[in-house]
Chains A and B, each alone.
Chain A
Amino acid sequence: MSANVAAAAKAAPSPEDKSAISVRDMRKCFGDHEVLKGISLEAHKGDVISILGSSGSGKSTMLRCINLLETPDSGEVRVDGELIRMKQARDGRQMPADIRQVERIRANLAMVFQSFNLWSHMTVLENLVAAPTHVLKRPRAECLEQAEALLKRVGIWERRNYYPPHMSGGQQQRAAIARALAMNPKVMLFDEPTSALDPELVGEVLRVMRSLAEEGRTMLVVTHEMGFARDVSSKVMFLHKGEVDSVGEPKEMFAKPPTPQFKQFIANFNK
C-alpha cells in the first residue's frame, strides 16, 4: 500500500499532496545488530502518530533517522515531499549528499528530546531565541516577542530568565517544547518526552502536547504513555524488533489488538 502512495506521489506531486513525512524501507544497523529492518511510515499534515514499542524495538532510532541525527543505512526519507538526498561515502555507507539540505529540513523538524537537551549555559529565553535568529535569520526583537508568548502558553513565562538546571524536569521539558515551537516547525518530533520525568511531572508536559495536537500540528511521538497514544493520537504505530508490527486507528488498535505482540505489549502496561 505504501508503495502505491509513493508511486502516486512520484507521478503527480499535486497541491493536495498532504504528505508531511514519508519514510520508505528504512534500515539501520549498529555493528552487527540490525535495529531497523525496513520501516515505512506515512504521516499526513495534521497527523499525530504515536510510535510504540518495547525498548530496543527501534522506535527512537527511527525518529533520529528522520532528521538524520543517525544516518540510515538505506531507505528514503521525504519531508513535505522533498527527498533527502543521500550518497555513498568512501567506506560504502550512506551519508547525506548535501548537508545544507539536511540543515534546512532539520529546521522544519523541531525535536523534543527525552533528556530535554536545553542549552545549559543559556537562559530559557535565550534557548528559545538562539535557533530562530541564527538559523532562520529572523529579527531578534520579533523572536523575543514570540518566545515570551510561547513561554506564556506553556506556563513558564515567570521562569524566562532562569537557567535550565534551575528548573524542574517538567518545566525544562515545557521549555524544550516552546523552543521547538519557536522554529514554527512543519513537523514536531518527540523522542520519549516524558520518560525522564518524575511521575507527578508527566501530566503538565502531556497537557501541553495535547493542546498542540488539538491545534492540528503534525507530530511524531515516540512514547510509553498509553493514555496519550489512545486518546490524543490519530494513528498508532507499533514497532517490534525493528519492524512495523501494526499500524492503525488508536481506538481500534487498543480495543482489538491486531497482533499477538501488540496484545502482549499493552497487557504488560495494564498490569
Chain B
Amino acid sequence: MDFDFYLSTMWSVLKALPLTLEIWFFGIAFGLIIATGLTWLRASGHKLGEYFTRAYVFVFRGSPLLVQLYLIYFGLSQFDFVRHSPILWPILRDPMYCTIVAMALNTAAYESEIFRGALRAVPVGQIEAAKAFGMPAFTRFRLVTLPIALRLALPAYSTEIILMTKATALASVVTIMEMMGTAQKIQHDTFRPIEVLTCAGVIYLLLNLSIARLFAWVEYRLSPHLRPPPEQSQQIKPVPEVL
C-alpha cells in the first residue's frame, strides 16, 4: 500500500469538499423553497394547482437527474431567447448554477411528495381539537398541523438529503471540479482507480454519516413523546395515582 499516495489523494479530494458542500447546500435550500410552494399548491385544493404539481412530480421524479442536468446545461442554451435573456443566460451558462438548478428542481419533486404524505398523515383528531377550541386556520397550522407533519416527514426527508449529497457527484459531468470531478482527474492522471475512488468513496461515506447523525439527533430532540418517559424506563412500577 502506498500511504503517501492515499494521503495526497485524500487531501486533494478534501480540498474540493467545500465546493461539493456549496452545491449541496444551495441545491437543497432552493429545493426546499420550491417543494414548499408545490406542497402548498397541491394542498390548496385548486384543481389547476393539483394538475400542475402532479405533472411536475411526474416529470422530475420520472426522469434521471443526469438527463435533467444535461437538458438544462447543454439543452437550454440552444434557444436564442435563453442566450439573449439578461436573467436566464447568466444562470444557465454557468455549470455551477445549472447543477444547483437541476438538483433543486429534482429534489423538490421528491420532497413535495414527502410533505404531502406527511400532511395527510396528521391525525384528524389533532386538527379537530384545534378547530373545536376556536383556533383560526393559520394558528391551527402553526401550532398543530405543521409541528406534527414535520416530525412525520423528517425520516424520509433525511433520506432525500442523503441522496442529494450523492447526487452532487453528477456536477463532475458538467466540468465542475468538486470531489468527484477532482477524483476523476487524479484517476486519469495516475491510472490508479482503486486508490482514488476509495478515497472519494470514504469521504462521501463520512459526509453522509454525519448528515445522518445530525438528522437522527434532530429527530430525537423532536420526539420525546414517542420515547418512554424517563422515570418509567428506570422503574417498572407506574407512579401511583393521586386524586
Contacts and interface: CB of A to CB of B under 8 A. Distances in A.
A131 B134 contact: yes
Interface string A107-122: 1111101010111110
Contacts of B156: none
Interface in B126-177: 126, 128-137, 139, 143-144, 147-148, 151
Contact of B125 (A67, A108, A115, A131): A115
Given A117-B128, A119-B144, A121-B147, 17 more contacts: A69-B132, A103-B134, A105-B134, A107-B134, A110-B132, A111-B133, A130-B133, A135-B136, A155-B243, A158-B239, A159-B239, A163-B229, A165-B225, A166-B228, A166-B232, A179-B133, A207-B243
Contact of A118 (B129, B143, B226): B129
B234 to A, nearest CB: 14
B135 A67 contact: no
B242 A130 contact: no
A69 B130 CA distance: 11
Contacts of A115: 125
Interface of A: 67, 69, 99-100, 103-111, 113, 115, 117-121, 130-131, 134-135, 155-156, 158-159, 162-166, 179, 183, 189, 204, 207
A164 B225 contact: yes
B64 interface: no
A166 B131 contact: no
A78 B239 CA distance: 44
Interface band, chain B: 20 to 34
Interface in B92-145: 123, 125-126, 128-137, 139, 143-144
Contacts of B125: 113, 115, 117
